[in-house]
């Protein structure tokens, strides 16, 4: 499975048990782990126990409405994406949901294809964020390791092998000291550069971050 399609945990908060069961079955078939809450209070209880990258919630529910669930989720983790569902759609309710930070807004009744599109788009965004964090952590690790290398007395002048050592530091974990062939170096750099370009195109990296990461790839 490609990284952009990786499954994750989803919370569905819906007091219509038939709709909730249908949504849960549909999303589980896509490989996602789904938890169900039959009302807003239950959803708030689940949110106290764990984070959910994506929440799909009804707007009108007993004990706590969808906006309350949205606020609680984003207070716990501002990166949480929340899709609001409602059978009482209006311009005011849509604007209110968006202002509160809702990722998407669906009017009931809707087709499963609509929820699939919303979840697919959310999945791509969530995994782009994850990829962004991985690359930034790699950059931090690489910067720290390069500093350690530069602090080793005489290393930079040792048979001109510092470049090969520095190139191996981009990969996570222990890496044998060896010279990579030009073909291996090109393949590795092109793969990383392609991921960086995807993140930049999706506005997950600023231009400055993109340039900095790209420069580090070719140290």
Q: pLDDT (tens digit, 9 = 90+) per residue, 80-99?
A: 999 999 887 666 777 777 78
Q: 180 pLDDT exceeds 90? A: no
Domains of the chain: 3-110 (3.40.50.2300), 129-217 (no CATH)
pLDDT on residue 20: 92
Model pTM? 0.60
Q: What token pair was written down for 187?
A: 């393949």
The stretch 59-77 carries a mean pLDDT of 92
Contact 16, 60 (CB under 8 A): no
Q: 183 pLDDT exceeds 80? A: no
Q: 171 pLDDT exceeds 70? A: no
Residues 121, 127, 129, 132: is their CA dihedral positive or negative? negative
């Amino acid at each position: 499975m490609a990284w952009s399609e990786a499954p994750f945990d989803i919370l569905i908060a819906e007091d219509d048990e038939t709709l909730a069961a249908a949504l849960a079955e549909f999303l589980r078939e896509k490989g996602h782990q789904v938890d169900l809450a039959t009302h807003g209070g239950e959803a708030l209880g689940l949110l106290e126990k764990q984070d959910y990258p994506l929440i799909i919630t009804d707007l009108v529910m007993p004990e706590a409405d969808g906006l309350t669930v949205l606020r609680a989720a984003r207070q716990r983790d501002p990166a949480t994406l929340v899709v609001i569902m409602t059978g009482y759609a209006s311009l005011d309710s849509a604007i209110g949901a968006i202002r509160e930070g809702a990722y998407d807004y669906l009017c009931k009744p809707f087709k499963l294809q609509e929820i699939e599109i919303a979840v697919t788009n959310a999945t791509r965004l969530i995994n782009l964020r994850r990829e962004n964090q991985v690359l930034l952590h790699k950059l931090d690790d690489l910067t720290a390791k390069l500093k350690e290398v530069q602090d080793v007395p005489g290393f930079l002048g040792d048979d001109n092998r510092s470049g090969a050592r520095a190139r191996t530091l981009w990969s996570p974990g222990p890496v044998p000291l060896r010279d990579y062939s030009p073909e291996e170096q090109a393949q590795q750099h092109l793969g990383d550069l392609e991921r960086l370009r995807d993140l930049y195109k999706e506005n997950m990296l600023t231009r400055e971050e993109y340039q900095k990461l790209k420069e580090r790839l070719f140290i």
